[in-house]
Amino acid sequence: MKQVTCIGRRGFLASLAGAGALAALPRRTSSAAEAPAIKLGFDNFSVRAFGWKAPQLIDYAASLRVDTLLLSDLGVFDSLEDDFLRGIKAHAEKQGIELQVGTGSVCPTSKAYDVKKWGPAEDHLKLLIRVARALGSPVARCYLGTRADREGEGGIYRHFDAMAKVLKSARTQAMDAGVKIAVENHAGDTQAWELQSLIEAAGKEHVGALMDVGNALWTMDDPMVNLEILAPYTVTTGMRDGAVWETEKGATVMWANMGQGSIDWSAYLKRFAELCPGVPFVLEICSYSWPREIPYLDPKMWSIFPRARAHEFARFVALAKRGKKHQIPEGRPGGGPSRELEQAQQKFDLESSLRYSKEVLGLGLRRA
């Protein structure tokens, strides 16, 4: 396919329509039409290739008529001073966008924590809470680390005490600000029950979860298992579809655009609405990036999942058995590697996923 260059939003959508890329979407089901109203939004990581700052991201979110925007890294702000942040808040309110804010790792023992940039992890988390308060964000998203933290002696569990200590240190600041610290199951770091135990140890009155269904697949969590365990703690989300299929070594997971993967969204959303009232459905689309083989037939793999629970793993295996090897959807921009192509692909993935979420699943308060 020919390379696609970065073009304006109207021109880009027109080109998609001309290619018929979104024409095959099914009509919204009656069950989706009758579902409780659920806010719809996206994480700015979905369009990271543009390098947009907060005002541009807010304007883009408003143009897509979403309800919520998660600004998941502090680098989108030109200043972290309260006066500047209050201006960002006012801009979002004018556009009708609910802001949420986040950062990366706050675990000082994780390979993912950048101590040179942030200094002590306790100070980093308290800075995040101050930013959340100034922006009017009800959540302060962060995470422990990545799958790499599962490796080595002690595995992921050697980090739990350090992470819990940091989370406990910010209890007063979070409670006074009316902000819930939202710890994400991130990039293969924790299974649902492990994150649950971390939240309980840190203090669930001020610590909750960002429930990421795509990341759950990286840790062999069936999406419904992940939902059932984390729902009582969930204050925000990171949502994308994922394809899972069997291989000779076990299974492969590939993140996909909404409606293109193995997740039964009709069943998932019915349960989500019951268990997570008021929690927004925030898309973090990073489709066709970082496909991961999960060689669960190799005994060596289990060294990084020594406490995995068999009854939950069985649900993941059943999901893989039902799945099929995923194909990239027709009409997605292709060509030689370039920043322009990356931007066009990210726009395609996010906007087609938003359209599916609105028109098929009935999500969002501002669908028109």
Confidence of residue 49 (pLDDT cuts 50, 70, 90): very high
Superfamily of domain 28-359 in the CATH hierarchy = Divalent-metal-dependent TIM barrel enzymes (3.20.20.150)
- For residues 317 and 308, is the Cβ–Cβ distance under 8 A? no
Confidence of residue 289 (pLDDT cuts 50, 70, 90): confident
> What is the per-residue pLDDT across 87-120, written as a single tens digit (0 to 9) for each?
999 999 999 999 999 999 999 999 999 999 999 9
Neighbours of 178 (CB within 10 A): 10
- Name, in order, each residue with C-beta under 8 angstroms of 246's C-beta and a sequence gap of 6 or more: 320, 321, 323
d(CA 229, CA 215): 15
Confidence of residue 67 (pLDDT cuts 50, 70, 90): very high
Which of 213-222, 235-244, 292-301, 358-367 bottoms out in mean pLDDT, i.e. has the lowest? 358-367
Q: What pLDDT, on the 0 to 100 scale, is given for residue 327? A: 86
Neighbours of 79 (CB within 10 A): 10
Structure tokens at 125: 């988390």
Mean pLDDT, rounded, for 329-345:
95
Mean pLDDT, rounded, for 341-363:
97
- For residues 217 and 312, is the Cβ–Cβ distance under 8 A? no
Alpha helix stretches (DSSP H) within 243-363: 265-275, 310-322, 339-359
Helical (H) or strand (E) element with 166:
helix 160-169
Structure tokens at 24: 């095959």
Mean pLDDT, rounded, for 32-38:
68
Distances (CA, A) of 254 to 66, 97, 257, 267, 332: 26, 30, 10, 21, 16
310, pLDDT greater than 90: yes
What are the backbone dihedrals phi and psi of residue 197, each rounded to the nearest 5 degrees, phi first? -65, -35
Q: Please tell me the pTM assigned to this model.
A: 0.91
> What is the per-residue pLDDT across 314-326, written as a single tens digit (0 to 9) for each?
999 999 999 999 8
Higher pLDDT, 351 or 289: 351
Mean pLDDT, rounded, for 285-297:
94
> What is the per-residue pLDDT across 248-260, written as a single tens digit (0 to 9) for each?
999 999 999 999 9
Closest by CA position to 50, among listed 210, 42, 216, 146: 42
305, pLDDT greater than 60: yes
Neighbours of 278 (CB within 10 A): 9
Q: What pLDDT, on the 0 to 100 scale, is given for residue 23? A: 39
Q: What pLDDT, on the 0 to 100 scale, is given for residue 5? A: 33
Q: What DSSP character marks residue 362?
A: -
Confidence of residue 367 (pLDDT cuts 50, 70, 90): low
Percent of the chain as helix, strand, coil, to the nearest 5: 45, 15, 40
Distances (CA, A) of 263 to 83, 93, 196, 223, 316: 43, 34, 22, 7, 11
Domain edges within the chain = 28-359
| Maximum Cα–Cα distance across the chain | 57
The pairing of beta strand 68-71 with beta strand 98-105: parallel
- For residues 213 and 225, is the Cβ–Cβ distance under 8 A? no
Looking at the chain, which runs of residues are DSSP E strands? 40-43, 68-71, 98-105, 139-143, 180-184, 207-212, 234-238, 241-246, 251-256, 281-283, 292-294
